[in-house]
Structure 1
Amino acid sequence: MATFRFELNGRPTRNKTYVVYLRVTVGGKRKLIKTMVEIARPSDFNAKCKGENWIRGGVRDAKVLNAQLADILAKAKETYKELDKEGEVTTVALAKEMNTEVVSPSFLAFARERAQMIYDNGGWRNWRKYCGLINKLDAFRKKRRMADITVADMTVELLTRFDNFLHKWENEREPGKLLHPNTIEVQFNILRTLVHRAIEVGIMEASKDPFLVFKYKGVKTIKEKLDDSEMERIIN
């Protein structure tokens, strides 16, 4: 069984427009298929529309754009039925038959969505940790002049570069110092959890898990314990 829905790329193109994608889910695996429809503002798009009015009525050529999206959706559903009969239906095969481009989902968007879910479930402390990682990933993206960090971008090479980036990140709690290696280890633990979650929901293949190769360990630290006399002084 497959599901189809349109969604908007939250990042503008070089022409300051926003591209509409068709999100296809087959067998729990999700892919984004790029359409030729672009709009000027995110508010012009309505993902939860009634009927086939994804582009709001006040937009110039809205009827034409909605008709184009309706044709794409109909073609995708028809192509799925044909491939399903042949027993060869996958998101990649579907995109190939439609002669369109399969776009890797945004890993940053996925991370933000996951962080929001944690917050909504009352995990405020974990939400803060996830936001800290997301902010660092976004700063890394900007420094590398990347438009986004997609699922396909999550490679051993990217993690290695991110590792180097974190080793130059200033420690917010101790200005003038850099991040402690154990703090960096926490960042990668969260990132690994996100990658494994992406695999679970089907937007990343298990064989593409960069943490199968990339490893990071912090350093051992010694924490002195208070003796009985010191505890007694505190109590007193």
Structure 2
Amino acid sequence: MLRKPYGQTLLAGALGVLVGAGLGYAKATAGYPVDWSSTGTMMQGWAALIAACAAAWGVNRWQQEIRFKRNAELAEKIMVSVEGLARALSDARSKPMELELDKRVPGGIVLTPISYELRSKFLNTAPHAAEIESLQNNVSAIFGKKHSSALTVLLAIHYTIRGSLMECVATTTGVKDGRLELEALELMLPVAESVVPVTRRGQALSDVINMRLNRVRDLFDGSI
């Protein structure tokens, strides 16, 4: 149930009391000569009370506006960074072209070292994850644990994918340089197939990413 702001409730209550008191006074003094001196003093007191209540209502309204503006600005910063992170993840995990594929691994999708390096750069150079991290304490303090936890999960996905790409870079480069046997490419298949969306593992990860992105969007959209 929605509650009225304190200042608004106070003003409404005071007006109700004053109206009731005025009606009672008018009824009680009906037929009697009016003591304008006493009445004027009473009216001045009523006016001062109304002014004080109106001031309290105004301060409360101003505080509400400041709070809404602060929350909207924070939510907007978060959403800008989240959408940037979503784009970086999409670029890093885009459908591979034919020339990116390492044909030495039949039945699986492994890319060339240069392809993994280029994809890693989308996540290594983008500032969006760092921006979200820098605002998480603000989110916890203003919006609460539910909003902060949703961001934590999204960041964990980002760092997991970034780490997986770096692992793919290290393994494929090691095979290329002769430091690792060709079998290492087959051993890295579970990781390699999760970072592209065209495999069963990759599609499952895409679904998780989209679900977590939509969760964050749903939580913050209402505050913008």
Please report the TM-score for the alignment, with normalisation by the length of structure 1. Answer: 0.24
Q: Which structure has the higher relative contact order (CA within 8 Å, separation 6+)?
A: 2
* Larger proportion of strand: 1
* Larger proportion of helix: 2
